[in-house]
């Protein structure tokens, strides 16, 4: 099975608005993009459909057992944690809330293993709390490039701030520059 580059994007409050600003500026990336948005099962499909309308890449709710492919966007369903098996296969499961949320960004990011011949990136966008901070440190420790949204463009600067405070963020960027950096890395 070929190695797939992986980008995990975590967001919460204000996330759809920010993602709808980032995705139209992206080409089809040579990476599988996993979005972990703090979301409920009631609105997750509408969220995926809305983002799909502005994305050059297909955006779908992730399903259990799905094999990651470059140029595809996978949204973690509301009420289920998403983890990766060997950086290739999606595992969805019911579980206790982590950082008071389900799905949790930390659960997804911390499931990543050191890739052989593939590249990683983690992105923490707007949101309340600290979900994603431990995950971003994990991605950095596995050789990934880490990005946090800056304070000026965040609706709520809790999650990006917590990520930045880990000291493991490579780039703190405004919304419009996040798409540029992802294009540079995986375009």
Whether 37 and 16 have beta carbons less than 8 Å apart is answered as: yes
Annotation says 63 is catalytic: no
Whether 24 and 53 have beta carbons less than 8 Å apart is answered as: no
Catalytic residue among 11, 12, 83, 179: 12
List CB contacts of 167: < 8 A, sequence separation 6 or more.
none
Annotation says 131 is catalytic: yes
- Between CA 128 and CA 147 the distance in angstroms is 17
At 20, which helix (H) or strand (E)? helix 15-22
Catalytic residue among 11, 38, 111, 179: 38
Catalytic residue among 131, 138, 154, 179: 131
Tally helices (H) and strands (E) across the chain.
6, 9
Cα–Cα separations (whole angstroms), residue 75 to 68, 82, 168: 12, 9, 25
Query: Rounded to an integer, what is the distance from CA 137 to the centroid of its chain?
Result: 14
Annotation says 150 is catalytic: no
- Between CA 123 and CA 69 the distance in angstroms is 19
Whether 107 and 81 have beta carbons less than 8 Å apart is answered as: yes
**Any idea which residues carry the catalytic annotation?**
12, 38, 131
């Amino acid at each position: 099975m070929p190695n797939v580059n992986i980008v995990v994007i975590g967001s919460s409050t204000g996330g759809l608005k920010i993602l709808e600003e980032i995705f139209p500026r992206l080409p089809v990336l040579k990476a599988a993009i996993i979005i972990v948005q703090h979301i409920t099962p009631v609105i997750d499909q509408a969220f995926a459909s809305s983002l799909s309308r502005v994305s050059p890449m297909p955006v779908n709710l992730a399903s259990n057992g799905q094999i990651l492919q470059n140029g595809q966007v996978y949204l973690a369903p509301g009420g289920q944690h998403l983890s990766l098996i060997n950086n290739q296969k999606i595992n969805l499961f019911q579980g206790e809330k982590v950082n008071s949320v389900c799905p949790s960004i930390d659960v997804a990011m911390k499931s990543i293993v050191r890739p052989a011949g593939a590249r990683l990136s983690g992105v923490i966008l707007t949101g309340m709390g600290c979900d994603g901070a431990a995950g971003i440190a994990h991605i950095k420790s596995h050789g990934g490039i880490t990005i946090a949204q800056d304070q000026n463009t965040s609706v709520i600067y809790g999650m990006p701030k917590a990520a930045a405070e880990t000291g493991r963020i490579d780039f703190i960027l405004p919304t419009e520059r996040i798409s540029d950096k992802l294009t540079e890395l995986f375009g």
